[in-house]
């Protein structure tokens, strides 16, 4: 099978859950004998370039300097569409894919999906956040489907449409064909349905991890006090809740030596400065370690050095890969079950759950694990078992491959 994967961002130039997941699936499909190429943006590399089977040819609007005047915005948008649509045509003419596999078109061009439909390709989507629920807010699509108030503007658009069509640009007027959509969580599918998108028949293919990469130590720590947070240092991830909960914990007799390791980088320097200042103001400098961004390949030994993962997310998580990695490594999880995390976390079975931004409840759940060795062992054991039974990477790849094959058959 010849598969063209399209994503707005692709490692190593951006490292988020969606992008890492895309890379994992690309490598998984290659390992199964499929010919896979990736079309992605020039974000962080500046100019168009090719790196093996990864074509960094698309323009993304992430680095546009705002605010823009309307005519400047329209010019840049037109330029972006010309670049991206030509890039898609160029690669398809050489590669001739059986499947066009869309991962995330935010900040690039929704028109690529419409072009793939018009060309008769089998178009599939793997949805790891809520972008598909808002696909009709794409700037190029909105520009042509929003009715201007002024008569002159409406006439201008009507006159431009045939000119751009002759020039080979897709001027969107139709909808996405969403027959072949795969959601990473039930929450994401329900969100899309509530947004009015016709995805009732879409598949939910939960993410998975290679449990063999994360060793599970069956010996139970006598007094688990090593806390861990893994993720971006941004407000909606709730890092401040974990720090405030640590303050409550170290004030309890016998738990003064508890520590928290924060693993991750940030795209919001002001928030990182805030949480570092919070650590200082609470007198936790010797109790909190910031490691900065660490490559995913280096995470397994870090998991092994800790006992409890705090997952204090404030927003509705699309899905929680970190949860699976920590559970597979034998950590007990204390977290919020917002959004897709609810597909993983089962309170009092494989995790202890607390309401978002409830510092006291977070601290209480952590202290329960520290004080009750039987509870700690039960939670971590059930977490590992659930990963092995429901969230294996190979099982996920089986479902993805089967879905692609069924569609092109």
Q: Evaluate if residue 157 carries a pLDDT over 90.
A: no
Pair (278, 195) in one structural domain:
no
- Cis peptide bond prior to 67, omega within 30° of 0: yes
Q: Decide which of 364 and 16 is more confident.
A: 364
Pair (219, 187) in one structural domain:
no
Q: What percent of the chain has pLDDT over 90?
A: 75
Specify the pLDDT at position 168: 67
For 47, what's the count of Cα atoms within 13 Å in the CB-facing half-sphere? 0
The Cα–Cα gap between 368 and 332 comes to 11
Number of domains in the chain: 2
pLDDT tens-digit map of 387-404: 999 999 999 999 999 999
What is the rounded average pLDDT of the residues 62-90? 88
Pair (368, 266) in one structural domain:
yes
Specify the pLDDT at position 154: 53
Mention every residue, 6+ apart, whose C-beta is less than 8 A from residue 341.
311, 313, 317, 319, 320, 323, 335
pLDDT band at 384 (very low <50, low <70, confident <90, very high): very high
Pair (105, 160) in one structural domain:
yes
Pair (195, 269) in one structural domain:
no
pLDDT band at 261 (very low <50, low <70, confident <90, very high): very high
What is the rounded average pLDDT of the residues 48-69? 90
pLDDT tens-digit map of 338-373: 999 999 999 999 999 999 999 999 999 999 999 999
pTM of the complete model: 0.89
Pair (376, 402) in one structural domain:
no
The Cα–Cα gap between 170 and 156 comes to 17
Specify the pLDDT at position 140: 86
What pairing do the DSSP bridges indicate for beta strands 181-183 and 203-204? Answer: parallel
pLDDT tens-digit map of 103-139: 999 999 999 999 999 999 999 999 999 999 999 999 8
Specify the pLDDT at position 407: 81
Specify the pLDDT at position 167: 57
What is the rounded average pLDDT of the residues 64-73? 81
Mention every residue, 6+ apart, whose C-beta is less than 8 A from residue 171.
144, 161, 164, 165
Q: Evaluate if residue 46 carries a pLDDT over 90.
A: no
Pair (177, 123) in one structural domain:
yes
Pair (146, 294) in one structural domain:
no
CATH of the domain at 398: 3.40.50.2000
Distance between first and last Cα of the chain: 11
Q: Evaluate if residue 296 carries a pLDDT over 70.
A: yes
The Cα–Cα gap between 332 and 362 comes to 13
pLDDT band at 196 (very low <50, low <70, confident <90, very high): very high
Domain that holds residue 93: 2-208+394-408
b vs e for 359-374, b when ≥16 Cβ sit within 10 Å of the residue's Cβ?
Answer: bebbbbbbbebbeeee
Q: What is the dihedral of CA 160, 162, 166, 172, to 10 degrees?
A: 90
Specify the pLDDT at position 66: 74
Average pLDDT of the chain, as a whole number: 91
Pair (158, 84) in one structural domain:
yes
Is-contact 366 307, C-beta < 8 A?
no
Specify the pLDDT at position 128: 93
Q: Starting from the edge strand earliest in sequence, which strands make up the sheet with 288-292, in order? A: 288-292, 259-263, 226-230, 308-311, 332-335, 352-353
Pair (54, 199) in one structural domain:
yes
pLDDT band at 267 (very low <50, low <70, confident <90, very high): confident
Specify the pLDDT at position 23: 94
Partnered with residue 310 across adjacent β-strands are 334
Pair (173, 281) in one structural domain:
no
Most distant CA atoms of the chain, gap in Å = 76
Pair (233, 333) in one structural domain:
yes
Lowest mean pLDDT among 162-176, 280-294, 311-325, 343-357: 162-176
The Cα–Cα gap between 30 and 401 comes to 11
pLDDT tens-digit map of 141-154: 888 776 655 545 55
């Amino acid at each position: 099978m010849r598969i063209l994967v399209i994503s707005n961002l692709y490692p190593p130039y951006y490292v988020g859950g969606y992008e890492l997941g895309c890379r994992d699936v690309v490598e998984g499909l290659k390992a199964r004998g499929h010919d896979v190429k990736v079309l992605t943006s020039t974000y962080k590399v500046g100019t168009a370039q090719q790196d093996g089977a990864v074509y960094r040819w698309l323009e993304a609007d992430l680095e546009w300097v705002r605010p823009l005047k309307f005519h400047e915005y329209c010019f840049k948008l037109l330029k972006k569409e010309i670049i991206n649509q030509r890039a898609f045509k160029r690669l398809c003419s050489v590669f001739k894919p059986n499947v066009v596999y869309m991962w995330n078109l935010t900040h690039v061009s929704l028109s690529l999906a419409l072009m793939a439909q018009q060309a008769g390709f089998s178009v599939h989507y793997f949805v790891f956040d809520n972008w598909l629920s808002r696909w009709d807010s794409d700037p190029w699509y909105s520009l042509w489907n929003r009715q201007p108030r002024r008569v002159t503007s409406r006439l201008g658009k009507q006159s431009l449409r045939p000119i751009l069509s002759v020039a080979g640009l897709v001027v969107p007027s139709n909808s996405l064909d969403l027959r072949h959509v795969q959601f990473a969580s039930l929450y994401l599918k329900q969100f899309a349905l509530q947004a009015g998108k016709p995805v009732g028949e879409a598949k939910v293919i939960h993410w998975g991890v290679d449990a063999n990469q994360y060793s599970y130590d069956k010996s139970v720590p006598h007094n688990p006090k090593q806390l861990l947070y893994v993720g971006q240092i941004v407000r909606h991830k709730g890092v401040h809740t974990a720090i405030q909960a640590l303050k409550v914990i170290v004030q309890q007799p016998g738990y003064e030596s508890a520590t928290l390791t924060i693993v991750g980088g940030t795209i919001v320097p002001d928030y990182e400065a805030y949480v570092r200042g919070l650590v200082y103001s609470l007198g936790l400098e010797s109790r909190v370690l910031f490691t900065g961004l660490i490559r995913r390949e280096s995470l397994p030994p870090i998991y092994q050095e800790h006992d409890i993962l705090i997952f204090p997310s404030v927003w509705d998580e699309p899905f929680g890969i970190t949860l699976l990695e920590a559970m597979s490594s034998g950590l007990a999880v204390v977290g919020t079950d917002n959004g897709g995390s609810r597909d993983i976390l089962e309170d009092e079975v494989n995790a202890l759950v607390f309401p978002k931004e409830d510092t006291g409840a977070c601290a209480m759940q952590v202290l329960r694990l520290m004080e009750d060795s039987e509870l700690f062992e039960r939670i971590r054991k059930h977490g590992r078992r659930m990963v092995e039974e429901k969230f294996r990477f190979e099982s996920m790849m089986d479902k993805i491959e089967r879905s692609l094959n069924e569609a092109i058959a």
